[in-house]
Amino acid sequence: MSPFQLTRILPEDATGAALRADVRTGLTGTPKTLPPKWFYDAHGSALFEKITELHEYYPTRAEREILHARADRIAAASGARTLVELGSGSSEKTGRLLDALPGLDSYVPVDVSASALEDAGRALAVERPGLTVHALIADFTRGLTLPPTPGPRLVAFLGGTVGNLLPTERASFLRSVRHLLEPGDMLLLGTDLVKAESELVAAYDDAAGVTAEFNKNVLAVINRELRADFDPQGFTHIARWNPDREWIEMRLRAQRAHTVHIQELGLDVEFAAGEEVRTEVSAKFREERVRVELSAAGFRPAHWWTDERGRFALSLSGV
């Protein structure tokens, strides 16, 4: 069995403190907002897994297609001995990469969920003898220090999650990743691409209503963790394409005027009928924009791969 180590970088109460701060700031602002990371409690994560299997939701399938077709080329170009995965979750997506990296010594999954890291890390330790797994409980958007591992290192940020960051946040994040890396290291970045509005909206507003339930789960999280009295059925799920910013916005629209009480914050939040809370931005990209943003952060874009239908891209960049 290979070594497995779990290191907590995130303080024990960091998640609760961040939730309280985000809810207070977001729901007292104009317009109201909530960050998408609060969708993902156990129920929300299960819902997202269902979403990835829906006919309308193409990104997961498209990215998997690229990984299966290009993993060997990614491995050859990077020569990685350490794979670092940001937002690793169950680590399922990186299986093909792990298979394709013959000289890999170390895998460093990074996530805020201790349980997900524990389960995935121990499973990998059994499945892949000789691979050192050093999992980090950390929020990669708030600064990160990597453990000493052999180089070159390949940092993977998959799933198009980078699109959930606003442009200034994304620029800051990419610079922070660049500062982690040394000459010879590389970044593998997944980005969803601009396409027909109808296809994009359908991916975030499926006919079965799974994404609507996922969106409303943020209210259930606040109810449970902060003793609030949101009625999720009193809000309507909205997904719309913003052509100027080239991103999908998910929102929750209040069906009637009412007040929500959040006991843990001592906060009353008033909603007008029809008022919306933005819960997610999901930017879609064009190749030139990805190259410009990576270059501005100090990367040297080297490779660009898409699925056969050109819906999703993986880019590989050096430093």
Name the strand (E) or helix (H) holding 176.
helix 167-180
Q: Is there a domain that residue 27 lies in?
A: no
Determine, yes or no, domain membership for 23: no
Whole-Å CA distances, 149 to 113, 114, 138, 221:
22, 21, 17, 37
Q: What is the 3-state secondary structure (H, E, C) of 254-294?
A: ECCCEEEEEHHHCEEEEECCCCEEEEEEEECECHHHHHHHH
Amino acid at 62: A
Instruction: Examine residue 175 and state whether it is found in any structural domain, yes or no.
Output: yes
CATH of the domain at 310: 3.40.50.150
For residues 218 and 103, state if they share a domain. no
DSSP character string of 150-174 = PSSEEEEE-TTGGGGS-HHHHHHHH
Residues 73 and 213 in one domain: no
Which residue range(s) make up the domain with 134? Answer: 58-193+287-318
| One-character DSSP codes across 14-78 | HHHHHHHHHHHHHHHSSSEE--GGGG-SHHHHHHHHHHHTSSS--HHHHHHHHHHHHHHHHHHHH
Site of tokens 């993902």: 40
CA distance 310 to 65: 11
pLDDT in tens, the chain (319 residues): 458 888 988 887 888 999 999 999 999 999 999 999 999 888 988 899 999 999 999 999 999 999 999 999 999 999 999 999 998 776 677 787 888 888 899 999 998 877 778 888 888 878 888 899 999 988 888 778 899 999 999 999 999 999 999 999 999 999 999 999 999 999 999 999 999 999 999 999 999 999 999 999 999 999 999 999 999 999 999 999 999 999 999 999 999 999 999 999 999 999 999 999 999 999 999 999 999 999 999 999 999 999 999 999 999 999 9
In a domain? residue 101: yes
If asked whether residues 208 and 100 sit together in one domain, one would say no
Q: Directed axis angle between helix 42-52 and helix 59-78, to 10°?
A: 90
185 and 299 housed in the same domain: yes
Residues 67, 180 within the same domain: yes
Q: Domain for residue 117, yes or no?
A: yes
Distance CA 46, CA 191 (A): 23
Per the domain annotation, does 22 fall within a domain? no
Is the same domain home to 66 and 159? yes
Asked whether residue 131 falls in the same domain as residue 187, the answer is yes
Question: In this structure, are residues 129 and 155 in contact, taking their beta carbons and an 8 Å threshold?
Answer: no
Judgement on whether residues 72 and 145 belong to the same structural domain of the protein: yes
Residues 234 and 93 in one domain: no
Here the tokens at position 120 are 């995935």
Are 78 and 97 members of one domain?
Answer: yes
Judge whether 84 lies within some domain. Answer: yes
Domain count, the chain: 2
Q: Tell me, yes or no, whether 19 lies in a domain.
A: no
Amino acid symbol at 268:
D
pTM of the model: 0.93
Task: Tell whether 184 and 211 lie within a shared domain.
Answer: no
Do 276 and 297 fall into the same domain? Answer: no
